[in-house]
């Protein structure tokens, strides 16, 4: 199979690693998401935060990595799984040709807390100044493997993970590398929680698992969560030459901004609609091609309605045939890791031909009149999907995803379950 120049070759995903509140790895997370499992609960004993905060149940500190800040440890876990999943022989690679694009994060504030006598902000023993920088996770993962290609780390709120995937794609297309490890992680930090509480955007409900309610008429905010997702990305020719198994092709990514408000979206939905149209055009997708949209869908009152309006504007009548997913309903809002975890779940949605449910969607808001897969997931065998991200600060990003259907290098749909007689 001949391929174009590096500037034109398709970019494919050959490895995925993931850890979330509902699973310690990719497949366990995916099974839980498919089954509608929620990782949200009330937590106690978090430094600097009153007991009872709702959280996408924090992933426990990773065994063997207690010396690392939690966000760095989560990055490592997801990266290791992604590399192993890709079957990339890193010892036999030119390390100067492997990029590492991992989002920026809140650094270790322990030294600051100790200096100012704020012992309530002190993290676990052993964390230190060299994990303070927001690029510490990127550096740590790259140095764990000895990768010496480009290092990239965006800080663009909850668009960060997708921004880094798009930056990794650019590095591959520019022939700065042959392989890129890209993604993001998030670990709970009291400063983030305090900020969100001041903004009054955190959800509340008597039953923790019912709190996150994207697109529901009774939604009242989001729940914070923890986790990570990482991807191994390659040009198609490189992947085929080494016999790699391919999940999907990443097509037509777009990065732009909405110059409107720090936390709210333009209620017309035009900016997000423009993002969608541009991404479809760059991916060479028609609106009718798309069978699944992974929405940002935080569960906030205004932003869900605006996002739904934008999907209607961009897709027109084709919107009636699209399943719109809202993964934050069970995982919480993973902030920096949100878009990478949700991109991973989008790829698995295409791989298995199954749209996971939006939990707690008991009464669809009339302003969100889309098929948001309420309560129970369903078979949805489609070849094209779109991942949307609408972050605080006006950061907007989207990417088209195409299922890999080639029998020689890809996945077949799982067998249909046997029907009862």
pLDDT single digits (tens) 161-215: 999 999 999 999 999 999 999 999 998 877 777 777 777 778 888 899 999 999 9
Q: Answer with the residue of higher pLDDT: 82 or 5.
A: 82
Q: How many other C-beta atoms are found inside a 10 Å radius of the C-beta of residue 308?
A: 26
Q: How many other C-beta atoms are found inside a 10 Å radius of the C-beta of residue 143?
A: 12
Which pLDDT value is given to residue 275?
Answer: 95
Q: Answer with the residue of higher pLDDT: 136 or 243.
A: 243
Question: From its phi and psi, is residue 221 left (phi > 0), alpha (psi between -120 and 50) or beta?
Answer: left
Q: Listing from the earlier edge strand, what are the strands of the sheet with 98-102? A: 151-152, 98-102, 179-186, 227-235, 11-20, 248-257, 395-403, 384-390, 292-294, 323-325
Q: What tokens does 121 get?
A: 């902000």
Which pLDDT value is given to residue 197?
Answer: 75
By residue count, the chain amounts to: 421
Nearest to 236 by CA among 254, 222, 248: 248
Instruction: Provide the annotated active-site residues.
Output: 158, 296, 333
Q: Answer with the residue of higher pLDDT: 116 or 357.
A: 357
- Domains (range + CATH), the chain: 11-241 (3.40.47.10), 252-403 (3.40.47.10)
Confidence of residue 344 (pLDDT cuts 50, 70, 90): very high
DSSP 220-231: --B-EE-EEEEE
Nearest to 227 by CA among 284, 161, 178, 168: 161
pLDDT single digits (tens) 321-335: 999 999 999 999 999
Which pLDDT value is given to residue 52?
Answer: 80
Q: Is the pLDDT of residue 420 over 50?
A: no
Rounded Cα–Cα distance for residues 104 and 186 (Å): 10
In the chain, DSSP finds a helix count (H) and a strand count (E) of 11, 15
Rounded Cα–Cα distance for residues 236 and 74 (Å): 28
Average pLDDT over residues 288-315: 96
Confidence of residue 155 (pLDDT cuts 50, 70, 90): confident
Average pLDDT over residues 103-123: 61
Confidence of residue 75 (pLDDT cuts 50, 70, 90): very high
Confidence of residue 129 (pLDDT cuts 50, 70, 90): low
Rounded Cα–Cα distance for residues 151 and 126 (Å): 26
pLDDT single digits (tens) 394-419: 789 999 999 998 877 778 787 655 44
Which pLDDT value is given to residue 126?
Answer: 47
Query: Is 256 strand, coil or helix?
Result: strand
Average pLDDT over residues 29-52: 87
Q: Helices in 284-361 by DSSP H: which ranges?
A: 301-315, 328-331, 338-352
Question: From its phi and psi, is residue 258 left (phi > 0), alpha (psi between -120 and 50) or beta?
Answer: beta
Q: Is the pTM for the entire model greater than 0.85?
A: yes
Q: Is the pLDDT of residue 42 over 50?
A: yes
């Amino acid at each position: 199979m001949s391929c174009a120049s590096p500037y034109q070759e398709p970019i494919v995903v050959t490895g995925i690693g993931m850890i979330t509140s509902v699973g310690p790895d990719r497949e366990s997370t995916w099974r839980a998401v498919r089954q509608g499992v929620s990782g949200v609960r009330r937590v106690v004993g978090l430094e600097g935060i009153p007991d009872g905060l709702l959280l996408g149940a924090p992933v426990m500190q990773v065994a063997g990595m207690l010396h690392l800040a939690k966000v760095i440890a989560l990055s490592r876990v997801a990266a290791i799984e992604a590399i192993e999943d890709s079957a990339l022989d890193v010892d036999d690679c030119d390390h100067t040709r492997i990029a590492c694009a991992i989002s920026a994060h809140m650094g270790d504030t322990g030294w600051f807390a100790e200096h100012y006598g704020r012992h309530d902000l002190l993290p676990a023993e052993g964390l230190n100044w060299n994990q303070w920088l927001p690029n510490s996770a990127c550096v740590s993962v790259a140095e764990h493997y000895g990768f010496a290609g480009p290092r990239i780390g965006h800080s663009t709120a909850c668009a960060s993970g997708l921004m880094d995937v798009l930056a990794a794609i650019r590095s591959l297309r520019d022939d700065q590398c042959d392989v890129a490890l890209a993604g993001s992680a998030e670990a709970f930090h009291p400063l983030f929680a305090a900020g969100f509480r001041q903004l009054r955007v955190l959800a509340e409900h008597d039953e923790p698992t019912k709190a996150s309610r994207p697109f529901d008429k009774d939604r009242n905010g989001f729940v914070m969560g923890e986790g990570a997702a990482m991807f191994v990305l390659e040009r198609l020719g490189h992947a085929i030459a080494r016999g790699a198994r391919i999940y999907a092709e990443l097509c037509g990514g777009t990065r732009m901004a909405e110059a409107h408000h720090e936390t709210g979206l333009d209620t017309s939905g035009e900016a997000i609609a423009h993002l969608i149209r541009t991404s479809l055009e760059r991916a060479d997708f028609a609106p009718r091609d798309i069978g699944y949209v992974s929405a940002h869908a935080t569960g906030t009152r205004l932003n869900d309605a605006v996002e739904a309006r934008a999907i209607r504007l961009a897709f027109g009548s084709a919107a009636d045939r699209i399943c719109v997913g809202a993964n934050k309903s069970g995982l919480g809002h993973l902030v920096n890791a949100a878009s990478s975890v949700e991109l991973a779940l989008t790829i698995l949605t295409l791989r298995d031909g199954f749209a996971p449910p939006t939990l707690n969607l008991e009464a669809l808001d009339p302003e969100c009149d889309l098929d948001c897969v309420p309560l129970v997931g369903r078979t949805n065998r489609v070849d094209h999907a779109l991942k949307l991200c609408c972050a605080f600060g006006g950061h907007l990003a989207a990417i088209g995803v195409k299922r890999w259907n080639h029998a020689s290098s890809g996945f077949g749909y799982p067998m249909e379950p046997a029907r009862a007689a």
